[in-house]
Amino acid sequence: MALREINFDGIIGPSHNYAGLSPGNLAATRNAGAASHPRAAALQGIAKMRANLALGLVQAILLPHPRPDHRWLKALATDYAAAPPHLKAQALSASAMWAANAATVSPAPDTGDGRCHLSVANLVTMPHRSHEWPETLAQLQLAFAHEHFVVHPPVPPPFGDEGAANQMRLTASHGEAGVEVFVYGVTGGPFPARQHRDACEAVARAHRLDPARTLFVQQSEAAIAAGAFHNDVVAVANERVLFAHEQAFADPAGFYADLRRLLPEVEIVEVPAAQVSLQDAIASYLFNAQLVTLPGGEAALILPEEARATPSVWNWLQAHVAGNGPIRRLEVVDVRESMANGGGPACLRLRVVADPATIDPRFLVDDAKLDRIAEVVSAHWPETIAHDAIGDMDLIGRIEAARAELLKALDLVGFIDR
């Protein structure tokens, strides 16, 4: 099989709003109550996907979930019209757009049975995310129905699992066996540690990973307390490159020693706190960039505009590239509408190393399909959602109709709609 890294981006849904539902996510809580712009947010995400295609990357999509989530509300013995405001907000959340939290992925070269394994994240820590997994599971079972894949249900509560945002894979090349790194939290000051070690170990067992090439690494309390609610806010890896903040891990020296032992060719790029503070790294989403390998073999960072606008971050990046470091190219994208809800370019995508020919083609995109999606978004996504509008039943009708139009355009009616 011709294994490629495929980026599955979550299309930002028509209910995208700033309800501030995620304690520890500083951007989301800072913007709580502001008016959101779902149409602009989705079009920015589509533009990012288009830019990835132009770089020669393989691009795919995950779809917005049905919102409000009427099944979840029914299980709570209410409906949307009668639900109290906090349940309305949690039922309407568009947070499934953060595809990095959809699942944990272990490519075929790493697994005992030679198949690619995906485990849907349970997201139990936050109520507004805890009801995402059934729809995510349905989408992944459809997209990865080929015998090359195994799609697992989530780890049961109370063991919090937030997916690939807390997992890194390092390898000489995508098609070779790698070292899988699971990052878990224990404490985080006033904020919850969302990824539990028990969940990491359960996923590793389900994926039949080699224990000798699997690492469980603790995230630093300082990082969580500063607002790094997931590991991918302070560290990212791709092939042989690990790019991390100096304060990302509780025991960086021990982790790096284990990594060098298992993968001698690893290139560790650590950003010193003296040059880029945790606060600047988190606010700019420096490490929530997509670290990718371009067709020519060079490593590139796909960064948000906020990284370029933060002097300490941009100065460090420019010096790294000028100094002939492992990361050779910087690509800047505008995803400010999703950034305001607490996620950068990497939050919007789930990476899957697989043969594109084994993926349901309705989930793969090219420029023509992105044009079609953009037409639906431009015609049907709300332009603005005010903070006090989530009780407007006319708005709810427009949100539901917008998603239905997208399913129709992608020939998915009857497959994942509910």
Catalytic residues: 162, 230, 347
User: Nearest CA to 246 among 215, 223, 218, 214?
Assistant: 223
How many CA atoms are closer than 13 Å to the CA of 314, on its beta-carbon side? 10
Report the alpha-carbon distance of residue 206 to residue 237 in Å, rounded. 22
Supply 418's token pair.
């509910």
Dihedral sign of CA atoms 79, 84, 85, 89 in order: negative
For residue 70, the SS3 value is: helix
Counts for the chain of helices (H) and strands (E), in that order: 15, 15
**CB contact set of 270 (below 8 Å; sequence gap of 6+):** 244, 245, 246, 252
Q: What is the DSSP letter of 384?
A: -
Report the alpha-carbon distance of residue 95 to residue 135 in Å, rounded. 13
Report the alpha-carbon distance of residue 14 to residue 378 in Å, rounded. 11
Supply 417's token pair.
């709609």
Strands, sheet with 103-106, edge to edge from the N-terminal-most edge strand: 103-106, 116-120, 149-152
How many CA atoms are closer than 13 Å to the CA of 159, on its beta-carbon side? 14
Radius of gyration from C-alpha coordinates of the chain:
20
How many CA atoms are closer than 13 Å to the CA of 343, on its beta-carbon side? 26
User: Nearest CA to 286 among 327, 251, 240?
Assistant: 327
Q: Which helix (H) or strand (E) holds 315?
A: helix 311-322
User: Nearest CA to 183 among 142, 140, 228?
Assistant: 228
User: Nearest CA to 250 among 283, 212, 215?
Assistant: 215
What are φ and ψ of residue 316, in 5° steps?
-65, -45
How many C-beta atoms lie closer than 10 Å to residue 415's C-beta?
13
